[in-house]
A and B are shown apart, each in its own frame.
Chain A
Amino acid sequence: MRCPMNRLNRRTFIKTGIGAGGVVVFGAAIRRGDRAASVKNFVASDDESLFDVWLKISPDNTVTAIIPHAEMGQGVHTSLAMMLADELDADWSSITVQEAPAISEYANYALARGYTIGDTEFPAWLIDSVNGFYFQATRMIGVQQTGGSLSVRTTGQIAMRTIGAAARSVLLQAAADEMQVPVGDLVAKNSVITHPATARTATYAQLAPAAAKKTIPDKPTLKDSSAFRVMGTSPQRLDVPAKVDGSAKYGIDAALPNMKYAAIKGAPVFGGKVRSVDESSIQDMPGIRKVISLGDAVAVIADGYWQAHQAIGRLKIEFSGGASGHNQSGIFEQFSIDLDRSAVAHNVQVDFLAGDSLKALARATTSVAAEYRVPFLAHSTMEPMNCTAWIHDGKCELWLGTQDPLGFARKTARAISFDSDDVIVHNQYLGGGFGRRSLSDYAEQTARIAVQVHYPVKLIWSREEDTRHDHYRQACISRFRGGLDGEGNATAWHNHYANRHEPWRASRIPYAIDNQRIVHSISRTQVPWGIWRSTDHSLHAFFTESFIDELANAAGRDSYQYRRDLLTGAPRFRAVLDLAARKAGWDEPLPKYYGRGISIHKSFGTIVAQVAEVEVRDGNPRVHRVVCAVDAGFAIHPDGLIAQMESGIAYGLTAALHGEISIHQGAVEQSNFHDYPMLRMNEAPAIETFIINSGESLGGAGEPGTPPIAPAVTNAIFDATGIRIRELPIRKNNLRNEQHHDGL
């Protein structure tokens, strides 16, 4: 039996070294310090993970960026490589990217495996030091995870740019030595250093061995944005070619000699257990190798996936226990009762207080009250959960797509009582992440199956399993009371909702309302929770941006102007709102049956405003156009930011129009795309995105496009029909309002 120590070595260092064959490596390995609440679920345990970035200069003058983040379509490999290349003044066309291997001894592993040419071992370090700047940087960086829209903001801004600038600095010093000229007389561009006065040149590859002997500067000077050559442009994404010819390898594409296939069925009721398995029910089926009970799920291993899939469908399994009394209506009832009780008992958790909202409500000329609710949501990545595990020679090798390779290694190790150093994660392209692939259940299951056999096993969840055994965006009820003075100005904002996850600021509003009371109560359910693209922002933007619209309507004011007036002290928000309204032609007339809605929300450091144009005819909404304005501080890759806005809008629009996971007798009712429908081409709106480079701190890109779309659409439906939607998905609401269109 192995000792489950889950040991990771603690190191903080910057190193530079010359490898066999003249490859020069610059690296900053950064120990994680404090971490934001928004990433804590990616972190396996408290103080041990390593965070590495490396760049490699090869004798042919190519530069390789080794990137500790997973590519799941957000273009992160490209964006991070751009940040490094720009500070390095490297030739973009000669940049390649490698994803960092996911093991605790990453540094040594990378060097031993990645930088050894032939049989030669990598030589001893030339420089091995710790310095204050990098150590400081660790406090702002997560571990080797991808989520929270953080990659560009942290890894890119702090680590990739820094190591690029540091490497450039020592390359310049090496050139100055060699050419016997001051550093200030040299120009670095396209991986070549030139001394213009004498027209002498040297490539980075020529200078790298000497540069590697220099001490890397503590605080390399980063470029001002006016000097960017690569950042702010939109080169083609590095991962795209492999994604148009079928050659991109995802977790599900792993293939190993003698590999078998597994299908699985988990207890349908959350918390349920396997009571019995009748293997005789499948004994006549061909290709079956083994039936394995994991306690809360049963797997069948077969020679082919189809055989395993058919067998798991026919296998007689009895499950028992779990929260089988749970029903969706009961869950909402529970939220309501808990909100009532906690309000009466003044037993609430405070998100934000300002002024005296109760007094202001009492004094208000007009008061408005509304209750909103949203359902549970599944992630539904296009690639269902899957993992291939091979346990051999005391090691567990995993092939899969994950947003958190190191965390998966640690958790999988724990599940099979291995040392985490003995779990090797081979991360593949992710067929969608959205937060789902930060949860390691599928890897742990596969490893627990694979420890029972002597061959590699590929476990593929059916779409039904994927839908019913997700970790869900929470359902929620949120209640509001608002007060207006005699002129219709908002004086009170009172919000009480059920269950906060993260980030804690999601319920906050940007509006200058003097008296605010934003609180929540706890009302837990048995339904497992997971990070879902934009986390709590996905619901709070719908709540707050609907309610501000209700206040505008109660005041008899234009919903754009009403918001704008409340953003006087928030110029950055106002600029984004104005841009969206202007580009949308806010005041221009619309055809019959059309409405226009606006919303604005800040998440992950990025402000996004959207204007939706919706046609409602015969009770059916059709979103024709979305205008999106975004301020992420600075767009490193503008086309990538636009793509992420388009993507975030589609993800949020799917949820707004269709998304509902409901619970019946403790189990998820939905199973596949017929009862958990997705946005399709015929429903996809035209999207126009406009970017503001405000120069503020970098914000995220992957998530902030999602939150504003639901309220933009429901506000537009209100504009078109007079029907206020307070429950998502929209299809649960009757949008036939004959009266409103009378006379049109």
Chain B
Amino acid sequence: MLRLNINGALHNIDVDPETPLLWVIRDCAGLTGTKYGCGMALCGACTVHLDGAPIRSCVTPASAAIGRTITTIEGINKGRDGLHPVQQAWIDEQVPQCGYCQSGQIMSAAALLEHNAAPTDTEIDTAMAGNICRCGTYPRIRKGIKRAALAINALADDAVSDE
């Protein structure tokens, strides 16, 4: 029995501990926002956060997540009033088309902005090159990241001025 913390909820899951986290999240925890795309960490559709860092859940054994915090697209706005700034930017820029890769894109983008609040184009390229989008929404993803960065910085400024 594995005990996993997904989006703040503890799940007791009876599964082979070597099962990739992706299938545990989708089929055992029933959180289907995280997607299967390649099974080889090549496309990024399965990206989730493990202790805040983006990982490819399709090649990460579930056992590696024991005692750690897993965040999926369903939990990324946890503790916020409404959407995560990246999610809101994705709506404002009308980023998604088919949408299948976008959970992974948003998780990668949110992780980037978590430690770099003003990424350059090159830094965006580096952080996002692991996430494939067959609909070619890359120009809007780039705009979305920049818009979200502004929103996050504005929130930070507000927080500072409130003090």
Interface residues of A (CB under 8 A from B): 72-75, 236-237, 239-250, 252-253, 255, 261, 286, 304-307, 309, 380-384, 429-434, 460, 462-463, 639, 643, 646-651, 653-654, 672-674, 678-682, 684, 686-687
Contact = CB atoms under 8 A, between A and B. Distances in A.
B129 A681 contact: yes
A244 B87 contact: yes
B140 interface: yes
B95 to A, nearest CB: 8
A435 to B, nearest CB: 12
A673 B134 contact: no
A240 B89 CA distance: 11
A-B pairs with the 9 shortest C-beta distances? A246-B33, A650-B136, A73-B97, A431-B100, A243-B99, A73-B98, A684-B138, A246-B73, A682-B125
Contact of A248 (B23, B99, B137, B142): B99
B49 interface: no
A653 B133 CA distance: 13
Contact of B87 (A74, A245, A309): A245
5 contacts: A72-B97, A236-B91, A246-B34, A305-B23, A431-B100
Given A245-B83, A246-B34, A651-B136, A673 B40 contact: yes
Contacts of B106: 244
B32 A684 contact: no
Contact of A679 (B20, B100, B136): B136
A245 B86 CA distance: 10
Question: Most B CB atoms within 10 A — which of A255, A380, A649, A681?
Answer: A681
Interface in B129-157: 129-142
A615 to B, nearest CB: 15
B51 interface: no
A682 to B, nearest CB: 4
A681 B138 contact: yes
B162 interface: no
Interface of B: 15-16, 19-20, 23, 26-27, 30-40, 42-43, 45, 72-74, 77, 83, 87, 90-91, 94-103, 106, 124-126, 128-142
Contact of B91 (A241, A383, A651): A241
Nearest to B92: A236
A74 B91 contact: no
B43 A240 contact: no
Question: Most B CB atoms within 10 A — which of A241, A460, A639?
Answer: A241
B16 A462 contact: no
Contact of B128 (A261, A672, A673, A681): A681
Contacts of A305: 23, 27
Contact of A681 (B23, B36, B74, B124): B124
Contact of A432 (B27, B38, B100): B100
A236 B135 CA distance: 18
A475 to B, nearest CB: 21
Contacts of A434: 134
B100 A246 contact: no
Contacts of A242: 99
A253 B90 CA distance: 22
Given A73-B98, A73-B135, A240-B96, A246 B74 contact: yes
A639 B92 CA distance: 12
Nearest to A651: B136
Given A463-B37, A463-B39, A674-B42, A646 B23 contact: no
A252 B98 contact: no
A687 B141 CA distance: 13
B65 to A, nearest CB: 15
Given A236-B94, A237-B94, A639-B94, A686 B42 contact: no
Contacts of B73: 245-246
Contact of A304 (B23, B42, B134): B23
A593 B147 CA distance: 32
Contacts of A686: 139
A244 B90 contact: yes
Given A244-B102, A680-B132, A646 B91 contact: no
A242 B96 CA distance: 10
Contacts of B33: 245-247
Contacts of B32: 246, 249, 252-253, 255
B83 to A, nearest CB: 7
B47 to A, nearest CB: 12
Contacts of B45: 382
A382 B45 CA distance: 8
A239 to B, nearest CB: 7
B99 A431 contact: yes
A382 B132 contact: yes
A304 B31 CA distance: 15
A384 B141 CA distance: 22
A306 B138 CA distance: 31
B134 A382 contact: yes
Contacts of A682: 125-126, 128-129
A144 to B, nearest CB: 19
B129 A306 contact: no
A690 B102 CA distance: 26
A250 B34 CA distance: 11
Question: Most B CB atoms within 10 A — which of A305, A309, A429?
Answer: A305
A252 B91 CA distance: 23
Contacts of A431: 35, 98-100
A380 to B, nearest CB: 6
A355 to B, nearest CB: 40
B97 A643 contact: yes
Contacts of A687: 139
Contact of B15 (A245, A249, A304, A639): A304
A460 B137 contact: no
A72 B98 contact: yes
A647 B91 contact: no
B31 A246 contact: yes
B132 A678 contact: yes
A48 B87 CA distance: 44
A682 B102 CA distance: 17
Contacts of B34: 246
Contacts of A648: 136
A643 B27 contact: no
Given A286-B16, A306-B19, A681 B142 contact: yes
B132 A246 contact: no
Nearest to A533: B134
Contacts of A253: 26, 32
Nearest to B42: A673
B140 A646 contact: yes
Contacts of A250: 35, 100
A241 B129 CA distance: 24
Question: Most B CB atoms within 10 A — which of A384, A430, A678, A680?
Answer: A680
Contacts of B100: 250, 381-383, 429, 431-432
Nearest to B19: A306
A463 B98 contact: no
B146 to A, nearest CB: 13
Given A246-B33, A250-B100, A681 B131 contact: yes
A433 B135 CA distance: 10
Given A248-B99, A647-B135, 13 more contacts: A239-B99, A241-B91, A243-B90, A245-B77, A246-B72, A247-B74, A252-B35, A380-B134, A382-B37, A382-B132, A383-B37, A463-B38, A686-B139
